[in-house]
Chains A and B, each alone.
Chain A
Amino acid sequence: MKSIALRASLLTAVLFLAACSSAPPKPESAYPEPVFVADRIVPVDAIDPTSVYDPWEGMNKRIYNFNYHFDQWIFLPVVRGWEAVVPQPARSGVHNFFENFRDVRTMANSILQASPTKFFQSTGRVLVNSTIGLFGVIDVATSMGMEKPDEDFGQTLGHWGVGTGPYLVLPLLGPSNVRDGIGMLPDYMLQNYIQGDLLAQPVRATAFLFDSIDTRAHTSFRYYETGSAFEYQTVRWLYSTKRELDVEK
């Protein structure tokens, strides 16, 4: 279903690009001048330190808006149902189970980034959690104080110097950029490959569903809840900065 999400992303992207033309009916100069205008307040040579390359802003904002509605009508109600029906210990078991696969993803990407430290850290975690931790259901490694690096293919690309490309809001998945969006594919294929060995097809589909619900349940972000009209650009800057630092980390 992640691949469905990705395909849907691309499709929506194309549709929005085609449909998107946001020229205002009248130029701003046709209106009375406000108390403070950029021409007088902002120096010509001012660079905005929070700016992010976002040529598809119109489309991104539409997907952002779509994600809010998807959250509102489908995703969050399902998450609430999940939290109401499944008791806390079971939910954290599910969470740990999927986190264990994320450690596998980190293992693979640590090899690709030629980082032995992270490789051994994540391998140690996977070994401990998959055995003593009963197939990852119990996060023994964290209780033992083992560090948990987090690497994905987007970071691997970044590690070898691939630029981010334009900022991108993905349907359902949220803030990303072209590089990180593309990076999701190999990560997904790896997970699919491992799970394919371990789980039967119908179980895998269910697992994917649970993974998505679990991920949303562990993401406290809610679209538009800051109430700030600048939320979109704040999130954009935070995401981009975080990813930049994650690549360097």
Chain B
Amino acid sequence: MTITNFAQRLFAGLCLFLSASFAFATATVENYGYPITDRFVATVVGTPEGYQADLPKSIPFKKRWLNVFPERHLPDLIWYGQELIYSEALQKRPAPLIFLIAGTGASHNGAKNVNMARAFYKAGFHVVSLSSPTFPNFVTSASSTGVVGHAQRDAEDLYRVMEMIQKRLVKDIEITSYNLTGYSLGGFNAAYVAKLDDERKSFDFRRVLLINPPVSLYNSISLLDRMTQDIPGGEDNFNQFFDNLVKAFSKVYKEDDAVGGDFLYKAYKAMDLKDEELAALIGVSFRISSASLVFTSDVMTDFGYVKPKGLVLDRYANLTRYNQVVNRLGFTDYYHDFFYPFYKADYPDMSRDQFISAISLTEIADYLRSSKKITVMHNQNDIILEPGEIEFFNEVFGERATIYPVGGHCGNMSYRDNVALMVSTFTQGAN
């Protein structure tokens, strides 16, 4: 087993250690057969193997590099981040193209994007897969400011990248139409990119699909931040909690002798699980990925968030202390003490609260209501939505929203019905 493999399993296993009330649905709601009803378990376990859509194992999914800002000079500590890395899987004949945008902290070749790429490649699309603007490589190479999480600016950064890729591709392949999708924060980004495209028309997207997007980014982030408070014994007990996780994982790891197979699912069954602790774990993993992002932004902009302003760290510097500090901060801290101060000069008429609450789909609700090409897939029990927020999608999108009764946050994305809908969203009515 390679380290990467191991890392995936370890993470998955850690996520599994603790959950409780997992139960297979005894009766399907609206004939929906996704088997996991617990929202936390669904979020972590995803889709058990037997329920996944049948997708090709290998597609020509190739990494590409793009120098978005050739003039940019990065600090030595993050010297490797000059070029944006993305991936593509191209058809050999004229075909429609689809852009995929990953969720918070996720990369172009993370599991969810790769799965979508398989589905769309199989359905005959050229696929271009992009990292989330919150992925450190995107921050260093493609964010115009280095401070991400800003709805319009992130959309502009993504749009710039997509235009550059388009310019590159049209030389070699024939593209019959442009399409766009993204999950989680990537779904949120896709909505803003679609709006931008209606003004600029570089792509004139045929269809846009938002998968499990947040409504208010700040609300969702607050929810995830608060999950770390579910650590048994409080946040100061984090080390004990973490140790227990690793121990529980190791037990499963040691007993797992199967070649391949459904490790996650087996690990889930083998572990003794409790609910709020699983939430804590989701919170912790969210925090770890946001810690990388925030520190990267801090180094890039020399803002003075956790690294003293003016202090130059070279690529060999010891970062232990900074790592410890950012691991103790939430994403909400970033919004209050980094993001807002960084941008406030550009928005002198807005208060902090106004500014932060404007990062929301409600801001562009009129556009979303009238733009018939945009559709939504969401889950009634998504963990990143405040109670009642799911109604936004019914209200704004009406018929164009498909709300599944279960699935947690993106847990059902590989389930065969979901994949079928994802694909048919883009193939229906196409020539």
Q: In the docked arrangement, what's the CA distance between A242 and B85, Å?
A: 28
Return B413 CB to nearest CB of chain A, in Å: 22
Q: In the docked arrangement, what's the CA distance between A37 and B77, Å?
A: 19
Check B306 against A34 for contact (C-beta < 8 Å).
yes
Q: Could you mark each residue 213-234 of chain A with 1 if its beta carbon is under 8 Å from any beta carbon of chain B, else 0? A: 0000011110111111110010
Q: In the docked arrangement, what's the CA distance between A239 and B305, Å?
A: 30
Check A35 against B305 for contact (C-beta < 8 Å).
yes
Check A224 against B296 for contact (C-beta < 8 Å).
no
Chain A residues with CB below 8 A from B2, complex form:
218-221
Check B80 against A42 for contact (C-beta < 8 Å).
no
Q: Could you mark each residue 225-269 of chain B with 1 if its beta carbon is under 8 Å from any beta carbon of chain A, else 0? A: 000000000001011001100100010011001010000000000
Check B296 against A229 for contact (C-beta < 8 Å).
yes
Check A68 against B80 for contact (C-beta < 8 Å).
yes
Query: Which of A31, A149, A248 lies in contact with B311, CB distance below 8 A?
Result: A31
Check B259 against A145 for contact (C-beta < 8 Å).
yes
Known contacts A35-B338, A42-B324, A42-B325; A220/B4 CB under 8 A: yes
Check A227 against B137 for contact (C-beta < 8 Å).
yes
Which residue of A is nearest B139, CB measured? A227
Known contacts A38-B324, A219-B2, A228-B296; A147/B136 CB under 8 A: no
Q: In the docked arrangement, what's the CA distance between A58 and B236, Å?
A: 30
On chain A, the number of residues with a Cβ less than 8 Å from chain B's Cβ atoms is: 56
Check A57 against B318 for contact (C-beta < 8 Å).
yes
Check A38 against B250 for contact (C-beta < 8 Å).
no
Interface centre among B253, B291, B314 (most CB of A within 10 A): B253
Interface centre among B3, B295, B304, B326 (most CB of A within 10 A): B3
Query: Which of A61, A223, A227, A245 lies in contact with B254, CB distance below 8 A?
Result: A245
Chain A residues with CB below 8 A from B328, complex form:
41-42
Q: Could you mark each residue 43-68 of chain A with 1 if its beta carbon is under 8 Å from any beta carbon of chain B, else 0? A: 10011111100000110011001001
Check B250 against A61 for contact (C-beta < 8 Å).
no
* B-side interface size class: 35 or more
Q: Could you mark each residue 287-304 of chain B with 1 if its beta carbon is under 8 Å from any beta carbon of chain A, else 0? A: 000011001101100001
Chain B residues with CB below 8 A from A218, complex form:
2
Check B306 against A36 for contact (C-beta < 8 Å).
yes
Check B319 against A221 for contact (C-beta < 8 Å).
no
User: Does B329 belong to the interface (CB within 8 Å)?
Assistant: yes
User: Does B200 belong to the interface (CB within 8 Å)?
Assistant: no
User: Does B187 belong to the interface (CB within 8 Å)?
Assistant: no
Chain A residues with CB below 8 A from B239, complex form:
46-49
Which residue of B is nearest A51, CB measured? B320
Within 8 A of B (CB), among A139-189: 142, 145, 147-150, 175
Q: In the docked arrangement, what's the CA distance between A186 and B361, Å?
A: 61
Chain B residues with CB below 8 A from A33, complex form:
308
Check B292 against A229 for contact (C-beta < 8 Å).
yes
User: Does B345 belong to the interface (CB within 8 Å)?
Assistant: no
User: Does B316 belong to the interface (CB within 8 Å)?
Assistant: yes
User: Does A134 belong to the interface (CB within 8 Å)?
Assistant: no
Check B307 against A34 for contact (C-beta < 8 Å).
yes
Q: In the docked arrangement, what's the CA distance between A34 and B322, Å?
A: 11
Q: In the docked arrangement, what's the CA distance between A66 and B329, Å?
A: 33
Which residue of B is nearest A143, CB measured? B259
User: Does B412 belong to the interface (CB within 8 Å)?
Assistant: no
Q: In the docked arrangement, what's the CA distance between A14 and B218, Å?
A: 51
Q: In the docked arrangement, what's the CA distance between A148 and B2, Å?
A: 14
User: Does A32 belong to the interface (CB within 8 Å)?
Assistant: yes
Which residue of B is nearest A59, CB measured? B316
Which residue of A is nearest B245, CB measured? A49
Known contacts A31-B308, A35-B304; A230/B243 CB under 8 A: no
User: Does A197 belong to the interface (CB within 8 Å)?
Assistant: no
Query: Which of A24, A220, A225, A230 lies in contact with B137, CB distance below 8 A?
Result: A225
Q: In the docked arrangement, what's the CA distance between A43 and B2, Å?
A: 35
Chain B residues with CB below 8 A from A36, complex form:
305-306, 325-326, 329, 333, 337
Chain A residues with CB below 8 A from B77, complex form:
229
Chain B residues with CB below 8 A from A38, complex form:
321-322, 324-325
Check A245 against B292 for contact (C-beta < 8 Å).
no
Chain B residues with CB below 8 A from A28, complex form:
308, 311
Check A22 against B316 for contact (C-beta < 8 Å).
yes
Q: In the docked arrangement, what's the CA distance between A221 and B291, Å?
A: 21
Chain B residues with CB below 8 A from A221, complex form:
2-4
Q: In the docked arrangement, what's the CA distance between A203 and B221, Å?
A: 58
The 4 A-B residue pairs with the shortest CB-CB distance, nearest first, are: A227-B137, A227-B136, A31-B308, A224-B80
Q: List 28 interface pairs A-B (beta carbons < 8 Å), by A numbering.
A: A22-B314, A31-B309, A31-B311, A32-B308, A34-B304, A35-B306, A36-B306, A36-B326, A36-B337, A38-B324, A38-B325, A41-B325, A41-B328, A48-B239, A48-B323, A49-B242, A58-B318, A68-B80, A175-B3, A227-B137, A227-B138, A229-B77, A229-B78, A229-B296, A230-B295, A239-B3, A248-B254, A249-B253
